[in-house]
Amino acid sequence: MSYSFKLFFGLFISSILLLATLLAAVIFLTGRATPTIRVAKATSTPTLIAIVTTRASDTPASQASPTHKPRPTPTEIPLPTPNPIINRPLGIIAFTCTREGYSQICIMNADGSHQTRLTNHTAHDYYPSLSRSGTTIIFASNRTGNFEIFTMQTNGHNLRQLTQGLKDVSAPEISPDGRQVVFVAHDDGSSSIWLMGTDGSNPHAITDSAWNEIDPTWSPNGSQISFAAARGGYVEIFVSNADGSDIRQITSGNLRIGGRNFWSPDAKKIAFYAGKSSNRDIYTVEVATGSITRLTKGGNNTGPCFSPDGRWITFSSSRDGDHEIYVMRSDGTDLRQLTFNQNNDDWQPHWAPGFLIGATSP
């Protein structure tokens, strides 16, 4: 073998070995994982991070999937159980009851139970009105000749005469604070609004009898008095301050308004009755605006009075042939008859709060 051939063969083998070494180095270097670092741009909006936890025993790590926390079941708030006490009218109602040809004073629970006759005279007792405490009844009676004002307890005891010699008086009502009585004094065919103490002291007129004012009633806080009067030709509802000043007309139009009226406990409305004789209905008027709403339709209804909580209105009606006492919701719904005294009129109801006759507890 020549020298040149041996030299060529050695160079060839060396080149093969060098290439093999280089190839191994490349393979080694490219096989290592080089971490890539990404830099997020700063933003003004914070990033919300949700953290989801799974149990290793539930899903292998290579097949892990997010497990969402179940939404909580909404808690149902039970509806209140209807309260039969709230669903029926509460308190006591005094009213005029005709018995044996004479008008007497009767009383009952506001649901019609425990009807009791309190007076029994061969004379007429009218216009019963209860004190706000429900312990005293004030009324007008002609048992001494002319109509005078009397008071008694709601059990009929402790009768007292408050007026003497004022000719005929009617429609008395005790003020909310129990200190004064508002009433009507009649003189030669005209009538005016008067005040006196609950002991009968200092009786005096607060309106002019030329206008024939009737049926006064106190506002809930005792600062105002409403009454009916024909000051502009037609009978309308008026309101004045408790001393008779600042008289202002509340209703308008020829509704043929009767007398008896009563304030709602929030002092926003006054209930009254109006219409043709023998066909009257119960209405309310908004004191601030004069807006009028009719609550009944037919039945010859008179003498409305709000319940102390404002939920109900009591009144008398001759829809069954004679006058009986009814109650209805203050919106005119849920009519209920309380008295069923055939051929004996029951009328002029007046409501007082917080006391039930003959009941142990509501």
What would the DSSP string read from start to end of 229-271?
A: E-TTSS-EEEEEETTS-S-EE---S---EEEEEEE-TTSSEEE
Contact 321, 300 (CB under 8 A): no
pLDDT tens column, 159-196: 999 999 888 999 999 999 999 999 999 988 889 999 99
Alpha carbon 49 to chain centroid, angstroms: 51
Distance from C-alpha of 257 to C-alpha of 228, rounded to nearest angstrom? 8
H/E stretch holding 15 reads helix 3-30
Distance from C-alpha of 184 to C-alpha of 249, rounded to nearest angstrom? 19
Domains of the chain: 117-352 (2.120.10.30)
Please give the mean pLDDT across all residues of the chain: 82
Q: Is the pLDDT of residue 243 over 50?
A: yes
Identify the pLDDT of residue 35.
36
CA nearest 87: which of 107, 63, 111, 108? 111
Sheet holding 92-99: strands in order across?
A: 116-117, 102-109, 92-99, 346-352
Contact 358, 114 (CB under 8 A): yes
Mean pLDDT score, 57-73: 42
Identify the pLDDT of residue 40.
36
CA nearest 140: which of 116, 168, 120, 166? 168
Alpha carbon 113 to chain centroid, angstroms: 24
Instruction: Rank 28-37, 57-66, 208-217 by mean pLDDT and report only the highest.
Output: 208-217
pLDDT tens column, 67-126: 444 544 444 444 444 455 568 899 999 999 999 999 999 999 999 999 999 999 899 999
- Give the residue carrying structure tokens 């009254």: 272
Q: pTM score > 0.85 for this model? A: no
Identify the pLDDT of residue 37.
31
315 φ/ψ angles, rounded to the nearest 5 degrees: -165, 170
